[in-house]
A and B are shown apart, each in its own frame.
Chain A
Amino acid sequence: MHRDEHHRTDDLPVPSLRSGPDGVSRAARIGIGGPVGSGKTALVAELCRRLQGRFSLGVVTNDIYTTEDADFLRRAGVLDDDRIAAVETGCCPHTAIRDDIAANLAAVEEMEAAHPDLDLVLVESGGDNLTATFSYGLVDRQIFVVDVAGGDKVPRKGGPGVTRSDLLVVNKVDLAPFVGADLTVMAHDAAEQRGERPVAFVSLRTGEGVDAVTAFAVGVAEGMHAATTAIR
């Protein structure tokens, strides 16, 4: 493969910033990033609905005004209050998931301590631009969410989220005919940028394509679970 993948291997678990004797017995972590309004919170809520019962879940949100997304998830009733934490990002959502992950890491670890059965934590970034990306010190895998209404040239523009995320989700495909977005162009450009990394064309409104995202999350959660169990 031509891409530089020295920072991680394809086998879970990915080395984390977290260290110490309990380093491996922790929940799997998926970062969910993407531009404002692309559907990150809706995706988190849908994943929680679909994975609930199968896994013990937690969510950390990084909304611009602290509690907006956390409140949305509470209203959606998909998780108990104490499984949703909100982190302030000081006007810099990308800093909080990439350069200085201290507050997010602490939020994840506090949730793990409060819920020792936790299997999977979803860390939702605040809405940002195409240059945003998660540190692999914070998450094991990351999903980048864009939407067709943002224009079908977004995959061509690239940026770390589009080119390097472990799963690229193109949301709101049901809107494509109304905004003149060509999904074939988006698929072609995404493949150019991403090589073999997967892309899911999704409509969270109609449910189209959501199974693929769910399967990705299950894979991450089970990979971590299997690794932890083997070591125990």
Chain B
Amino acid sequence: MSDQGASPVLVLLLGDSRLPSGAHAHSGGAEQAVAAGLVEDTATLADFLEGRLEAGIALEAHAAAASCHVLVPGDSAASALPALEALDEAIDARLASPAARASSRRQGAHHLAATRRIVPSGAVELVGSVRPDPHLCVAVGAACAGLGLSPATAAGIVAYQSLAGAASAALRLLGLDPVAVSGLLARLAPACEALAAAAGAQADGPLPARAGPGLDRLMELHRQRKERLFAS
């Protein structure tokens, strides 16, 4: 399946950090990684982002592709609903940290509320009918499905946004060189695209179940902090 006939500009819109879906206040664990001294410059940020790609972002990308696949226009609600419920459970089962689950649902709720008005579609409404706070990857997958975009594109948008969001948070907290940080994202583009292609090709298969205990721990420690600038 491809994006044939779909709007490339709307891909940019959905992937733009300026999309008002609440993502700017989430660091994807980067704030805690900075606090723990794990990320202190662009080189350590690169390590952190590569680690995120291996575990957390891989799950998000595959789940976004699965959500988009389930919701391709033409499929009836009757067949999509049980699949969406199963997907929701499968994501929960793979996110060990309650803080990570909560953050994903919080951002999903914001994304759903925004895309309901920005790019309304039956797919987005169907996800909203299952619950008001889907996981973010599911909400993005639904928005993509509604626009006729492919599961691989949905996976790519989710993977890029996760990387860029964490990178932007580290930039703000550490005062990194923005050009160096964007250069890092450019260097990670092939890995991001490979992940998106794999997720698209396996959109009807089981989700990956790779543990990321380091990130889980960061997310939990962050949730317990009294002083924090980011919501997660």
Which residues from chain A sit less than 8 Å from chain B, CB to CB? Answer: 17, 19, 64-67, 87-92, 95-96, 99-103, 105-106
Contact = CB atoms under 8 A, between A and B. Distances in A.
Contact of A91 (B19, B23, B114, B172): B172
Given A66-B229, A102-B20, 16 more contacts: A19-B117, A66-B226, A90-B25, A90-B229, A91-B169, A91-B229, A91-B230, A96-B24, A99-B20, A100-B19, A100-B20, A101-B20, A102-B22, A103-B231, A105-B113, A106-B110
A103 B22 CA distance: 6
Contacts of A95: 24-25
Given A67-B226, A90-B169, A92-B24, A102 B114 contact: yes
A66 B20 contact: no
B229 A100 contact: no
A66 B21 contact: no
B42 interface: no
Contact of A103 (B25, B117, B173, B226): B25
Contacts of A105: 113
19 contacts: A64-B229, A65-B228, A66-B227, A88-B25, A90-B25, A90-B27, A90-B231, A91-B229, A91-B230, A92-B24, A92-B25, A99-B20, A100-B21, A100-B22, A100-B25, A102-B110, A103-B22, A103-B231, A105-B113
B20 A88 contact: no
B20 A89 contact: no
B87 to A, nearest CB: 23
A101 B25 CA distance: 10
Chain B interface: which size bin? 20 to 34
Nearest to B171: A91
B contact patch SS: loop
Given A19-B117, A103-B25, A89 B229 contact: yes
B26 interface: yes
Interface in B1-50: 18-27
A17 B27 CA distance: 25
- The DSSP consensus for interface residues of chain A is loop
A102 B26 CA distance: 12
Nearest to A19: B117
Q: What are the 6 closest A-B residue pairs judged by CB atoms, nearest first? A: A102-B22, A90-B25, A102-B110, A88-B231, A100-B20, A91-B172
Contacts of A90: 24-27, 169, 172, 229-231
Instruction: Determine which residue in A64, A102, A105 has the highest number of CB atoms from chain B within 10 A of its CB, and name it.
Output: A102
B109 interface: yes
B77 to A, nearest CB: 21
Nearest to B111: A102
Nearest to B25: A90
A96 B229 CA distance: 12
Interface in B197-216: none
A88 B228 contact: yes
Contacts of B23: 100
Contacts of B114: 102
B228 A103 contact: no
A43 B72 CA distance: 51
B143 to A, nearest CB: 14
